[in-house]
Structure formats: C-alpha cells, structure tokens
Amino acid sequence: MSFNSYGCILVVSPSPATIAEPLNGVRTVAIEYSFGVVENLHQPISVLDRSDVSATLNVSEHCRETRAGFAYQALNCTVAQFAIQHQASAVLIEGLNGATLDLPRMLKLMGIPCFIAAPVGELNVQARQDVEASLADASGWYLGDWAEGYNIDGGISSFEEVCYRCVTAAKQPKASAGFDYSIYEFAQRDHPLLLAMQRPYVDHFAGCRKVLDLGCGSGVFLQLLQDHGIDAVGVERNPEIAEYGRGLGLDIRTEDALEFLENSTETFDGIYCSHFVEHLPFELVCRLISLLQQRLVEGGKLLLVFPDPESIRSQLLGFWRDPEHVRYYHPDLIKAVGEAQGLRCEWHSHEAAPHTVVSFSETAPTVAQWPSMEPIAQPKAQPTLWERLLDRLGICSRRRLWELLEEKQLLVAQLNEQNRAQQAVISQLKVRTDILWDVNRTWGWEDNAAIRLVKGPQTNKELQC
C-alpha cells in the first residue's frame, strides 16, 4: 500500500507549539494559533502565515474564554478545510478554550477522531457544562487533569499514549467516502461571520412568541433568537448537522423542510427562511411559499433571505460554490409569489437601500493636461552707475521699484490663469471620478436580498406556476 493512501495527523496547538511530531513515519500538518487583538470582531481570526502544510493564526482575545457558542468558533473553518484537504485520519488538539471547544463536536460530524491534551484547571459551572457537552459528543479521547471523567475510551494515562493512538489512527488506510455536500457546506461556513451577518434580521421578529427557522443548518439564527429571549425551533434535513446543533442546546428537528410544512399542524407568528429558495426550481418555490403561508398565524411575519441577483459579489464570488444552487430569484419575483398567496410585503431590502443603476460610456471623459507655469520673461534696462551704487547700499531705485511692481502684477495674472486652468482640470477629474464611483458603488450592494411578508386577510388569488 502506498504512503499516499494513509491519512495524516493534524495538530492544532497554541503558538509556539508544544506538541512535537508524535512518531517518525507519519505525515503531520499543523495549525498554530495565539490570542491577540483582531480588528474585525465579526471575523475573530487573522491569518499570519499559511502554506500547504501549516497555518499560523491570530485569534481574537475573547475566544480565550472556555465558552461554547458560534461567536467563539474561530478555528472551525480552518481546521475543517485542513482536515479535508489533507485527509486527516486524526486530529490532536492542545488546549481547551472557546476557539477549540467545539472542534471535537465538529470533527465527530466529519467522522474524524480527535485527541485532546488539555489541563483545564479551574473552570466555572457554565464552562464545566460546555466542556462536558462538547467532549460527550466527541469521537475521541481526552487527556488532562480530569482524565478519569472525560476519557471516553478508557485507559489513557499519558501523553505518549495519546500520540500512539494518533499514529495508529493515521496509519489506517484512509478510504475515500466521496463527496459529501453537508461536510463541504459546513467546512465553508464561518460561523462567527454568519452570526454577524444574520444578527440584523433578529429585529424583524421583535415581539414574536414562537419562530420557525426553516432549513436552519447548524442553528446560527436559532442561537441569535435564543439570545434575545425568543422561543424558536429549527428544521434541518441532514441528521448529522441537526445533531450538531442540538449538541449546542438548540431545538432542531430532523426532517425535510417541505415535508415538515405539509405534515405539521403547528403555527408560528414568525418564520425565518434563509438561503433556501435558491435551492429550488420555481414551481417548488411557489409550493414552499404557499405552505409557509399556511403555517403562519394571522398577522404572522415571514422573512425570506436569499442571494441578491443584483449583487456583483454574489454573482462572481459566492453563489456557484454551492453545488445545490439552482438559480437566482429576484426579490420582486418572490414578493409577487407571496402576494399571490395572500401575503403582503411589509419590508423590502431594495426599498430600504435602493440600488441606483447608472449608465456610463465606454470612452473615458476627456481630461486636459495639468497646466505648467512658465517663468516670466521681461526685458530689463541696464542699471546706471547711480543705481548700482544704491544697490550696493541696499537701496532700491525708483525705476527698479516700478519694474518689481510690474513683475508682481504679471506673476499674479499668471497665477490666476494657472489656477483657473487647474480648477478646470479638477472639475474634469471630478466628473470622471464621480462616474467611476457610481459604477464602483454597485460592488457595495449587499450580497443578500430580503423581504418581510405578513399574513393578511385570505384571498382566492392564486399564482399559476
């Protein structure tokens, strides 16, 4: 069997790393991290250095706290991508903190055993509960000062034993399971960033008593609602992703979204459906919105969020990374479908932040050359003997004084002319800049469109799909 058929050990360690390569003959890749100041709190991680086999990361200081939650999952995305890229057979993690606490649960989802070396020391009650929940959901072994309480496999009493088990796992032939959409999607998701992106949508459900998050994934929005004291339940079709979310204490049901809507008799005064319609053909979108309308109480709110087809960034950078995306839907079309089902549009992201489309010529506007200032050439009379004598004494003659005054007047006139020419060029540059800025502003349009529909009086109006 060739060496390439084996996996490797992925080492996740504080910087500088204190975990050495366990044994010779086994390939290792490393992610080293340290805690520090990160400018963008929505993305609590910055890459200091990265290569094919290693990464050095700076993690936001708030992730040092041993606490569960999407906001602390700074390392998840990088660890998942490294594990997939290198077909890791095992992951060795040093240290338990907010950034590493969810890794055992995530790696279980990916089917990769993990080994944790972490003297956890004194933790408060909440931290103990978070650690217990994470390690109970893990498929691996724990080594630390609570070894008896968290050693799931039993019998581990030394760091060398952990290294040995890592090597044993890594030397097993790594069978390819093929492409798994759920794992692919999960590895691409930056949970802290998603948390920040979805936080503004919570306000749409102010005052709601029971909210449904349809197609909730791992439950990012459910946690936001929970943090705001809003009772919410999620529906997710993938059992592993749903189980992952339940491990975070979220109420998630494992069921196909459309089947849930058809079979359930529950009603809600708020429904959140984010990034779902783009996975469906149009006839199923019509069916979806019809079913959503049936699950709403009178006066209930439905917030639909989906990729904006008018977003250049979405078109070029994000949409087609998802193999299950079917097509874009314009918010005006989704609004029309909702209105055909008796819903009325109460809020439209394009109306809240209008998109101004500008025209521009393929030929750039003309801009004149920047004017240069030529030296003043004025003939001067030869000074007389008397004027030379006065000049030696530092005295200006009357004739020379008039010459200087004339030079000043010419210089002022020349400067005024140059200033007018410069202002004309500046005006031309402003016209060109404004045109470019109007065009460039289209890059700043939000990636997502959103509309809030409210259930009003029932109508017999139907949409022929």
Residues of the chain with pLDDT under 50: 1-5, 19-20, 22, 144-157, 458-465
Pairwise CA distance, residues 214 & 455, whole Å: 17
pLDDT of residue 123: 62
CATH class in words for 3-178: alpha beta
Q: Tell me: domain 186-355+446-455, CATH 1.10.10.10, correct?
A: no
Q: pLDDT by residue (tens digit) across 98-150?
A: 899 888 888 888 888 887 776 655 566 677 677 776 666 665 555 544 333 33
Sign of CA pseudo-dihedral 88, 94, 100, 101: positive
Are domains 3-178 and 186-355+446-455 of this chain identical in fold? yes
371-397: burial string, b at 16+ Cβ within 10 Å, e else: eeeeeeeeeeeeeeeebeebeeeeeeb
| Every domain of the chain and the residues it spans | 3-178, 186-355+446-455, 356-374+417-444
The pLDDT score that the predictor gives to residue 149 is 36
pTM across the whole model: 0.76
pLDDT of 284 reads 97
* Residue 464 pLDDT: 43
Q: What's the pLDDT at 173?
A: 60
Nearest to 227 by CA among 216, 235, 238, 219: 219
DSSP of 347-412, one letter per residue? Answer: EEHHHHS--------SSPPP-PPPP--PPP----PPPPHHHHHHHHTT---HHHHHHHHHHHHHHH
